[in-house]
């Protein structure tokens, strides 16, 4: 994995980054990566990711006879008995 070194980082930026990392329970490196990913839109926000997943699910068509025959109660009961 590549390494990024930042020189001459202003102290106020470093202190804000450090504080934000503390609040998010992350290391400074983890927080920096998170901020860069968010800014570069590499990792979508959970809300947009959820929307994307739901749109994908909506593309699948479940035949009505299959949808009516799904018995989730028995699936849950079976899983609990394991």
Q: Which of 39, 20, 42, 40 is nearest to 30 (CA)?
A: 20
Answer yes or no: pTM beyond 0.95: no
List per-residue pLDDT tens for the chain, 82 residues long.
Answer: 889 999 999 999 999 999 999 999 999 999 999 899 888 878 767 777 788 888 888 787 766 666 566 777 887 888 888 7
- The reported pLDDT for the residue numbered 8 is 96
Report pLDDT for 21.
95
How many whole angstroms separate alpha carbon 48 and alpha carbon 52?
Answer: 6
């Amino acid at each position: 994995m590549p390494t990024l070194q930042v020189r001459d980082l202003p102290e106020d930026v470093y202190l804000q980054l450090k504080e934000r990392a503390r609040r998010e329970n992350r290391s400074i490196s983890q927080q920096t990566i998170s901020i860069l990913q968010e800014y570069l839109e590499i990792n979508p926000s959970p809300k947009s990711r959820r929307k994307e997943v739901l749109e994908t699910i909506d593309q699948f068509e479940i035949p009505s006879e299959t949808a009516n025959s799904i018995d989730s109660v028995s699936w849950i009961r079976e899983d609990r008995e394991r």
